[in-house]
Chain A
Amino acid sequence: MIEVENLTKYYGPVPAITDITFQVEKGEILGFLGPNAAGKTTTMRILTCFMPPTRGRARVAGYDCLDQSLEVRRRIGYLPENVPLYNEMRVTDYLHFVSAIKGIPRRERSRKVAEVMGDCGLLEVAGKINGKLSKGYRQRVGLAQALLSDPEVLILDEPTVGLDPRQIIEIRNLIKSLAGRRTIILSTHILPEVSMTCQRVIIINEGRVIAVDTPENLTAQLEKSAQVLLQVEGPPEEVVTILSRVEGVLEVERRDIAADHQVHTYLVKSQPALDLRKELAAAVLRNQWGLLELRGVSLSLEDIFIRLVTEEEGSAADHPSQSTSGPEGPDEEEEL
């Protein structure tokens, strides 16, 4: 449905994206994952015919984004980053305007507008001014305008950015409910998003594709070791020594999260497919230390992302440690 070949775009002398190549099948939800300034928006702007690439080509439904731009634009619904709306218009009037500009016949407009407003949960703000909407409703209006005219392809640039957790869940569910008939490309720099909504992920960094796979495969491919997190009250050096001696343990890393001198958090890496939780607990108890916490940790997409990026750069391949994932790291960990 979407074919992108060697797409390159320069802003002045520096490329924003370099040789991006990927395909999206009909009905697929593709996650476009990358940190800020990776080139996600640039790629999407090329796909939506807002600007042409410097090199390479992009096709949507078989039409070239450069030569057959009108045909492409007829088939695309686009939600730009930051959701630019005409702030002085009322929600309903705005959607009527969009349906007119998208060429929906006059007599069908009211029905279509009512339909997308229902789908996007906009009925309660129908008479409000766009500029006065909360961020969450703004996002939905953006989504609603993209959905008008029933496009085959939806391109959503960071659809959940700036929303509170409840709104994020609502928008994600909304996006998932749109899948099936439509092909969706969705960009984000928040990792759990793709694992929850997308069937396939493209990881992009500094304008280059560094991995393309399903979220599950990416996890499996990179889960080189199983990990257990412990919080133990006891002398830190001894704890590390004892834990390292447990059979199957590859590495023990101390993470000083607790302020108390005796209480520390340890991350134990073991060989894959080995559950050492019982043995580790026994070792701690044998030495009569206090076991305050013990849980298994799987790699989150965030860790995968950091690994891919760091491995690509070749600098920190040996230390893809949890602690590099920053303050959000522990929050994204999934319980085994």
Chain B
Amino acid sequence: MNLFPILQREFKSYFVSPIAYIVTFIFLLVSGYFFYTNLAWYAFVSLQMASSTAEGVHDLNLTDGVLRPLFLNMSIVMLLMMPLLTMRLFSEEKKTGTIELLLTYPIRDVEALLGKFGACLAVFALMLALTLVYVLLMAFYGDPESGPVITGYLGLLMLGAAFIARGILASSLTENQVVAAALSFGFLLLFWAISWATFFTGPKLGSVLTYLSLMDHLNSFSKGVIETKDVVYYLGFTFYCLFLTLRSLESKRWRG
């Protein structure tokens, strides 16, 4: 596998244009805001509870009160931001024509694809790692359980990988970056909210829709539980999108 040169080039090129900085900045800013409001709310509520009824305090802890909402909030910011990171990956090369050189170098299509995927995932992981600052801050206030922190971040990473795979697929379909971003954003939003339809579909279809929903699989991760079905879902989603991208690259060769 000769994917490292491409991975390295793509990773560096993220930091040449302002886009990675802007996306990271906004991501940190918005998730920081959510963190702050969650924490403030938590402090407020736990103060109230402490002063009124002594029993209610047991219902609330840092994991449930701050971390879980934070993970869910972050996943929404990701939904909005990730298409901006993935949109250029193939679209730009198609637009500028560099794809013609890339695909005539002695590398397999899958190496080019995984190089790009890996680079974007690395940028995202970096972005995610920076939010650990909030968790560290939280450790001053109280004593967050380390289990849900670890699994929560793992869940976000897998969710991010799924977003990236879907974004790359969109990017391989068009030479227009805005179209690529719109395609992946629209699709992700739909998959995000797909389980909302369960209230009018029957329970059978409902459970399928719930399983398909990107959001619902984050739940157990944020509680500190790793469930096979969630891992399978995220990995499956990611691999399926990457597989379709590969086919789209091949068909580009066929259709010229």
Give A contacts to B, CB under 8 Å: 9, 11, 42, 45, 48-52, 70, 73-74, 76, 78, 80, 82, 84-89, 97-98, 100-103, 145
Contacts and interface: CB of A to CB of B under 8 A. Distances in A.
Contacts of B98: 84-86
A101 B6 contact: yes
A45 B9 CA distance: 25
B18 to A, nearest CB: 12
26 contacts: A42-B256, A45-B256, A50-B100, A50-B104, A51-B253, A51-B254, A52-B254, A73-B105, A73-B106, A78-B100, A80-B100, A84-B96, A85-B98, A87-B96, A88-B13, A89-B9, A89-B13, A97-B8, A97-B9, A100-B2, A100-B4, A100-B5, A101-B5, A101-B105, A101-B107, A145-B101
B103 interface: yes
Contacts of A74: 106
A259 to B, nearest CB: 45
A42 B100 CA distance: 12
The 5 A-B residue pairs whose C-beta atoms are closest, nearest first, are A84-B97, A100-B5, A73-B106, A74-B106, A84-B98
Interface of B: 2, 4-6, 8-9, 13, 16-17, 96-101, 103-108, 253-256
B104 A48 contact: yes
B106 A88 contact: no
Contacts of A52: 253-254
Contacts, number: 66
B250 to A, nearest CB: 10
A145 B233 CA distance: 42
Given A88-B17, A101-B6, 6 more contacts: A42-B256, A50-B253, A78-B101, A85-B98, A86-B9, A100-B5
Contacts of A48: 104
Q: Select the residue from B4, B97, B103, B105 with max chain A CB neighbours within 10 A.
A: B105
A138 to B, nearest CB: 12
Nearest to A75: B106
Contact of B100 (A11, A45, A76, A100): A45
Given A82-B97, A84-B97, A101-B5, A49 B104 contact: yes
A50 B255 CA distance: 11
Given A86-B9, A86-B13, A97-B5, A76 B97 contact: no
A73 B17 CA distance: 31
A96 to B, nearest CB: 9
Nearest to A146: B101
B256 A70 contact: no
B15 to A, nearest CB: 10
A84 B104 contact: no
B97 to A, nearest CB: 3
Contacts of A9: 256
Contact of B101 (A11, A70, A80, A100): A80
Q: Select the residue from B106, B108, B255 with max chain A CB neighbours within 10 A.
A: B106
B164 to A, nearest CB: 21
Contacts of A11: 256
B97 A70 contact: no
A102 B105 CA distance: 6
A88 B16 contact: yes
A323 B66 CA distance: 84
A7 B184 CA distance: 38
A78 B104 CA distance: 8
Contacts of A50: 100, 103-104, 253
Contacts of B256: 9, 11, 42, 45, 51
Given A80-B100, A88-B13, A70 B108 contact: yes
A84 B103 CA distance: 12
A103 B9 contact: no
